[in-house]
Amino acid sequence: MASNQLIVPQATQALNQMKLEAAQELGVQIPSDGYYGNISTREAGSLGGYITKKLVQMAEQQLSGGTR
């Protein structure tokens, strides 16, 4: 179980959806049992990097007034 705790617990479903979309776009197979120990470090890193990039883009868009 991850030790990270969300500041906004209601964001769990949105983050899970983002993770699934990122995995699908990158061609990474998400484990059905939720255990990520069998995916490569490269795959896990690419997922995390992609999600971070998308979150930064969303924040920039929101800060700029949504005109991007």
* Host domain of residue 26: 11-63
Q: How many structural domains is the chain composed of? A: 1
Contact 19, 34 (CB under 8 A): no
What is the identity of the amino acid at 33? D
Domain assignment of residue 2, yes or no? no
Record the pTM. Answer: 0.71
Output the CA–CA distances (angstroms, integers) from residue 1 to 4, 21, 24, 34, in the order listed.
9, 22, 23, 10
Residues 14-59 pLDDT 10s: 888 998 999 999 998 888 887 888 889 999 899 999 999 999 999 9
The pLDDT assigned to 67 comes to 60
Domain assignment of residue 4, yes or no? no
Domain assignment of residue 35, yes or no? yes
Q: With 0-12 CB in 10 A as exposed, 13-18 as middle and 19+ as buried, what is 30? A: middle
The pLDDT assigned to 21 comes to 92
Look-up of token digits 């990039």: 53
Domain assignment of residue 3, yes or no? no
Domain assignment of residue 5, yes or no? no
Domain assignment of residue 26, yes or no? yes
Name residues whose C-beta falls within 8 Å of residue 60's C-beta, 6 or more positions apart in sequence: 68
